[in-house]
């Protein structure tokens, strides 16, 4: 009996904590449908009728769909590059014997531990020299080299691929790259998907890199555009429009999460599985 009551209390506590995670987002959605005056006077947990007005005020100031589109232009190719080149690199490291393999592995582990800010200034300086400022190239191309993802996929290849299977393909006369594309890639697909979702969210949410690299307002990605919202006095007067802007940036990620939460959570768990 005591266990039952305790269990009940625990469930209540867990639900309260869930609400603490959801409430700010719910208030965001509610407030994005209320007028600035309503918001400053009182709070409400139920939506209002000013979504249209807020939308007009917001898009008068900034075209968020532009940022949305820009973010897609950066995040999708970057994620695809990360997925493909991490997979092929991991495969070569796990399944072939070659000179430098263990050195590369060590370097990768070291670079996983190096904080990103350490390279920030050098990276910017490099882009200046290569005349890549205000271009999407430095936001996309470096995605080819993702040490952390190579690290995890290497483990994944080792645990899912058998050398016997590869031998069979080779006896059939398939070339090495053909074997990778037709046999290895499909087997690695679940691992690649898991890592790609994490990579995509990272790219989508990235703020500091596009902030320093892009100059033209029309090229800004969504997070950078969002960060300019409170520069507008019109918007400061109408909090509803600010909430709406934030909601537009948040809702797509929430939808992706609703469908892929299992993959996302297993990608985090993967981080805790030691070698």
Partner 1 sequence: MKAISMKSVMKNRNNAAYLFVLPFVIVFLIFSVYPVFRTLYLSFTDYKGYGDPVLVGLENYKRVVGDKFFWRSLYNTVKMWGLNIVLQLGLAFLLTIVFSDIKYKLAGLPVFRALYYLPNLIAATSVAFLFKTLLDWKYGTFNQILLATGIVDQQVNWLGQRSTAWAVVSVIQAWMWFGNSFIMLMAGVQGIPQDYFEAAAIDGAGRWKTFGKITLPLLRPILLYVAVTSLIGGLQLFDLPFLINGVAGASTAGEPGGTLQTVVMYMYKFGFETHQVGFASAIAYTLFIIILIVSVLEFKFIGGKED
* Exposed e or buried b per residue across 176-197, where buried means at least 16 C-beta atoms within 10 angstroms of its C-beta: eeebbeebbbebbeebbebbbb
- 216: tokens are 């033209």
* Exposed e or buried b per residue across 54-88, where buried means at least 16 C-beta atoms within 10 angstroms of its C-beta: bbebbeebbebebbbebbeebbebbbebbbebbbb
Q: How far is the CB of 75 from partner 1 (least distance, A)?
A: 11
Which parts of 159-188 interact with partner 1 (CB under 8 A)?
170, 176-177, 180
Say how many C-beta atoms besides its own lie within 10 A of residue 115's C-beta.
Answer: 7
Per CB under 8 A, the segment of 48-56, 59-67, 134-142, 188-196 that binds partner 1 is: 134-142
Per CB under 8 A, the segment of 47-55, 58-66, 98-106, 152-160 that binds partner 1 is: 98-106
Count of residues in contact with partner 1, rule CB under 8 A: 95
Per CB under 8 A, the segment of 15-23, 47-55, 153-161, 187-195 that binds partner 1 is: 15-23
53 vs 93 by CB, closer to partner 1? 93
Which parts of 203-262 interact with partner 1 (CB under 8 A)?
204-205, 207-208, 211-212, 222-224, 226-231, 239, 242-243, 245-246, 249-250, 253-254, 257, 261-262
For residue 88, give Cα distances in angstroms to 9, 84, 168, 218. Answer: 50, 6, 19, 35
Q: How far is the CB of 192 from partner 1 (least distance, A)?
A: 15
Q: Does 263 bind partner 1 (CB under 8 A)?
A: no
């Amino acid at each position: 009996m005591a266990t039952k009551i305790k269990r009940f209390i625990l469930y209540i506590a867990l639900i309260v904590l869930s609400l603490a995670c959801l409430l700010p987002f719910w208030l965001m959605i509610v407030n994005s449908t209320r007028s600035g005056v309503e918001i400053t006077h009182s709070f409400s947990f139920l939506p209002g009728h000013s979504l249209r007005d807020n939308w007009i005020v917001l898009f008068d100031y900034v075209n968020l769909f532009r940022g949305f589109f820009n973010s897609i232009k950066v995040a999708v190719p970057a994620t695809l590059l990360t997925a493909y080149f991490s997979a092929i690199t991991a495969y070569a490291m796990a399944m072939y014997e070659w000179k430098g393999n263990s050195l590369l592995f060590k370097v990768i582990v070291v670079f996983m531990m190096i904080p990103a800010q350490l390279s920030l200034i050098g990276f910017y300086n490099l882009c200046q020299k290569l005349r890549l400022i205000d271009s999407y190239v430095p936001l996309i191309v470096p995605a080819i080299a993702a040490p952390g993802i190579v690290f995890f996929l290497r483990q994944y290849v080792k645990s899912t691929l058998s050398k016997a299977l590869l031998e069979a393909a080779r006896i059939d006369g398939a070339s090495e790259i053909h074997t990778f594309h037709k046999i290895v890639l499909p087997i690695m697909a679940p691992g690649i998907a898991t890592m790609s979702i994490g990579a995509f969210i990272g790219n989508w949410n990235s703020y500091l890199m596009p902030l320093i690299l892009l100059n033209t307002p029309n090229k800004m990605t969504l997070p950078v555009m969002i960060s300019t919202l409170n520069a507008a006095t019109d918007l400061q007067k109408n909090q509803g429009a600010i909430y709406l802007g934030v909601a537009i940036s948040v809702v797509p990620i929430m939808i992706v999460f609703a469908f892929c939460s299992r993959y996302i959570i297993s990608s985090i768990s993967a981080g805790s599985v030691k070698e």
